[in-house]
Amino acid sequence: MKRGVQIVLWLLVAGFLVILPQLATTNYLVNVMITTVMWIIFALSFDLSAGHVGAVSLGHPVFYGVGAYVTALVAPSLGLDFIGSLLLSAFAMGLLALVSGIAFFRISEVSFAIGTLGALIIAQLLANNAYDITGGPMCTQNVPRPVLHIPGSGPVTVVEPVHYYYLLLPLLGLAILIYWRLTQSRIGRAFAAVRQDEVRASAMGIYPKRYKLLAFIAGAAIIGALGSFQAQYITVVCPSELTISYTLNLLIIVFVGGAGSMRGVILGAVLFSLLPRLLEIVTDVPPAWQQLIYGLILLIVIRFLPEGLDSLIERALQRLRGTRTEAKPDAA
């Protein structure tokens, strides 16, 4: 019964997301939707390791930016199409996460966070300075757009934002599915064990490194695919895709929304993407003010809502269910 309700709820959400662009009157609104969905995917992939195994990879955008570069620089020469490029970037980033993870997970949690951040800085500096390969600050231009082969008609090049939106939705579905299956199964319990006490987890036969790697690689593959999407959507890849401000935004989204909670992370990403757009309608807020407000919100949430905004939802839901739980007191 309860499972049935859940499925219906998910189907409703999916249906809503499919219909949504039909309500959008301008490309601007569709772009806002695309950005929102991208931030959801970005944040979910980050939260897999930061929120669940406790490995705060401050260099997470590396997988996004390098994933984008892989699609821009390597995929065309291999003659890969949209999905092929996505898979290539996802695979390459998964592999990069495996190799770097084996090295990075030997060091302490603190060193891991700062070491990965160091890696992000290196990646951006390299992208900026290796003109011959990346074009440096001039960016890698003219990334091919996706071409769809629809039976019956010729190949169609995707240009319209709406169509990009529909290409992005399955990626969101996949990200949610992977996140859900990893964190809600017994693996999720091992994740929690590793995060809460690595030593004790080892004493119970759980090998911490395996689970850290699993979360790290899954997150990297997802975000690598998103980087590939971004490259084929904007058709330009710049060193700014490797910026540290992505890391800051991820931290704001995840820690304001609620680390380790899918609902919280999605909520955080939606608020983060939509709030400035909503503010724009009322008044013109300069970026510096926007960031300042985000910073303050982050500090306030950390101080007063340790589990993020998600804890508010949780409390509200519990109040709704209140009567039911009380009617069924714990017999044992």
Give residues in contact with other proteins (CB under 8 A).
50, 54, 56, 103-104, 106-111, 113-115, 117-119, 121-122, 125-126, 129, 181-182, 185-187, 189-190, 192-193, 196-197, 199-208, 214, 244, 248, 251-252, 255, 286, 288-289, 291-292, 294-296, 298-299, 302-303, 306, 330, 332
Cβ proximity to other proteins: between 20 and 187 the closer is 187
Taking the complex as a whole, the smallest distance from the CB of residue 57 to other proteins amounts, in Å, to: 12
Taking the complex as a whole, the smallest distance from the CB of residue 235 to other proteins amounts, in Å, to: 27
Both tokens of 111, joined, read 């060193």
Taking the complex as a whole, the smallest distance from the CB of residue 289 to other proteins amounts, in Å, to: 7
SS3 call for 20: helix
Cβ proximity to other proteins: between 34 and 310 the closer is 310
> For 98-102, which contacts have Cβ atoms below 8 Å and span 24 or more sequence positions?
98/213, 98/217, 101/212, 101/213, 101/216, 101/217, 102/213
Taking the complex as a whole, the smallest distance from the CB of residue 145 to other proteins amounts, in Å, to: 33
Cβ proximity to other proteins: between 10 and 207 the closer is 207
Taking the complex as a whole, the smallest distance from the CB of residue 12 to other proteins amounts, in Å, to: 23
Question: What is the DSSP secondary structure assignment for residue 178, as one 8-state letter?
Answer: H
Which residues are CB-contacts of 298 (< 8 A; sequence separation ≥ 6)? 251, 252, 255, 256
In angstroms, rounded to a whole number, what is the distance separating the alpha carbons of residues 5 and 2? 5
Cβ proximity to other proteins: between 79 and 330 the closer is 330
Cβ proximity to other proteins: between 88 and 265 the closer is 265
Cβ proximity to other proteins: between 38 and 52 the closer is 52
Cβ proximity to other proteins: between 24 and 114 the closer is 114
Return the H-helix or E-strand segment holding 231.
Answer: helix 208-234
Residue labelled with tokens 């190949």: 155
User: What dihedral angle (degrees, nearest 10) is formed by the CA atoms of 14, 15, 18, 20?
Assistant: -110
Question: What is the DSSP secondary structure assignment for residue 144, as one 8-state letter?
Answer: P
Both tokens of 94, joined, read 């998964």
Taking the complex as a whole, the smallest distance from the CB of residue 81 to other proteins amounts, in Å, to: 28
Taking the complex as a whole, the smallest distance from the CB of residue 241 to other proteins amounts, in Å, to: 18
Residue type, 231: A
Residue 106, CA atoms < 13 Å, CB-side half-sphere = 5
Cβ proximity to other proteins: between 106 and 277 the closer is 106
Taking the complex as a whole, the smallest distance from the CB of residue 107 to other proteins amounts, in Å, to: 4
Q: Which is it for strands 147-149 and 155-157: parallel, antiparallel or unpaired?
A: antiparallel
Nearest to 88 by CA among 63, 72, 70, 64: 70
